[in-house]
Amino acid sequence: MKRIALLTMGLLLVTSLLYAGGSSSQPTKYPVVLIHGIAMNDINILGVDYFYGIQNELEDEGFTVFVTTQDCFNSTEGRAREVFQELLNIKAVHPEYTKFNIIAHSQGALDARYLVSNLSTTINGKVVKGSDLVASITSISGVHRGSPVADLVLGILPAGVARDAVAGIVNLFWKLFFNSENADSEAAIRSLATSYMINIFNPNVKDVPGIYYQSYAGKIKTITPTFLVSAPLNAYIKSVDGANDCMVSVNSARWGNYRGEITGAWWCGGVDHFMEIGHLFGITPGFDAPAFYAGIAKDLQKRGY
């Protein structure tokens, strides 16, 4: 009888391990906040997520996740203020969340840097700084030293009537189709220009001691599914600033603890700026974007964040 009882208990234990649902990870100490980049919001046309399949993967792995909804097109300073308010709103509802782990793509990384370095507010007589809310910033192809693509756009459309007209059309389109009431495409592009980042932004946005900064850079090796857009941009950036993901060079993406290039499987053509967030609609041969972000969260958990 004892042997039968032990066997039964063993079978129950194995069964519980096999079918225990969902999470294979310990949650991070602090919730994860995903910050989107330029041109698109968290949910866009036809309800397509910016971070395609990534939030669901993180939540399935047991992590608490929020996705920001700041303007698609705006200056980094303006977007950062919106993200700061979103973090304050989350804390107001969940006072148990003392800080957040930010994982940011493209311009979103600049939003995160600015809010922890330069923003504060007073709540109930107490000063709350952006740095009080953030434990770590993980940058995915952040535009830390500017983008030659922004330089190219500003060069093609010098200040004046032509630029104002194009910016107006872009702003109207984004207002109609992306529900972006305050779209300012010109301010957004200026915020990503190389000269602005090197001469104005970086000297005035210093890293905050005690916050963990790390970064990854996407890199195209040959050709990717978005080749009609990515191939010419990749060639242009390569000619002026080396290896890149078609929007941001590897050199520009480095910030804090540089974790390396995102290149995908050995057989694929690399990882472009769109594949880094799971597009085209999950068609990312050789690269699993949701698994990549889950790996980041697991690493943050191991580091105590």
Average pLDDT on 279-291 reads: 95
Phi and psi at residue 73, to the nearest 5°: -120, 115
Q: How far apart are alpha carbons 22 and 288 in whole angstroms? A: 19
pLDDT for 137 beyond 90: yes
Tokens 């957004």 found at: 188
* pLDDT tens sequence across 143-184: 999 999 999 988 887 776 667 667 666 666 666 666 666 778
Question: Where would I find the H helices in 94-184?
Answer: 107-118, 148-156, 161-177
Q: What's the pLDDT band for 19 if we cut at 50, 70, 90?
A: very low
C-beta of residue 8 within 8 angstroms of C-beta of residue 15:
no
* CA–CA separation, 145 and 195 (whole Å): 8
Give CA separation, 195 vs 49, 113, 114, 198, 200, in Å.
32, 18, 17, 5, 8
Give the residue from 135, 110, 144, 302 showing the smallest Cα distance to 208. 135
| pLDDT (tens digit per residue) in 78-130 | 999 999 999 999 999 999 999 999 999 999 999 999 999 999 999 999 999 99
More confident residue, 14 or 283: 283
Q: What is the pLDDT of residues 27-80, one digit of tens each?
A: 999 999 999 998 776 665 556 889 999 999 999 999 999 999 898 889 999 999
Q: Look at residue 180 in the predicted model and tell me its pLDDT.
A: 64
* Residue 14 pLDDT class (50, 70, 90 cuts): very low
Global confidence as pTM: 0.88
Nearest-angstrom CA–CA distance, 102 and 120: 17
Q: What is the β-pairing status of strands 32-35 and 100-105?
A: parallel
Q: Return the structure tokens found at 129.
A: 């700084």
Q: What percentage of the chain carries pLDDT values higher than 70?
A: 82
- SS3 label, residue 31: coil
In this predicted model, what pLDDT tens digit does every residue of 183-242 receive, in sequence order? 788 888 899 999 999 999 999 999 999 999 999 999 999 999 999 999 999 999 999 999
pLDDT at 39: 76
In angstroms, rounded to a whole number, what is the distance separating the alpha carbons of residues 174 and 171?
5
What pLDDT score was predicted for residue 250? 98
Residue tagged 């210093």 (tokens):
206
Give the end-to-end CA distance of the chain in Å, rounded to a whole number.
Answer: 48
Asked if 203 contacts 114 with a C-beta cutoff of 8 angstroms, the reply is: no
Residue 6's pLDDT is what? 41
pLDDT band, residue 255 (cuts 50/70/90): very high
Angle between helices 107-118 and 76-93 (to 10 degrees): 70
Q: Rounded CA gap, 226 and 228, in Å?
A: 6
**How far apart are alpha carbons 278 and 82 in whole angstroms?**
24
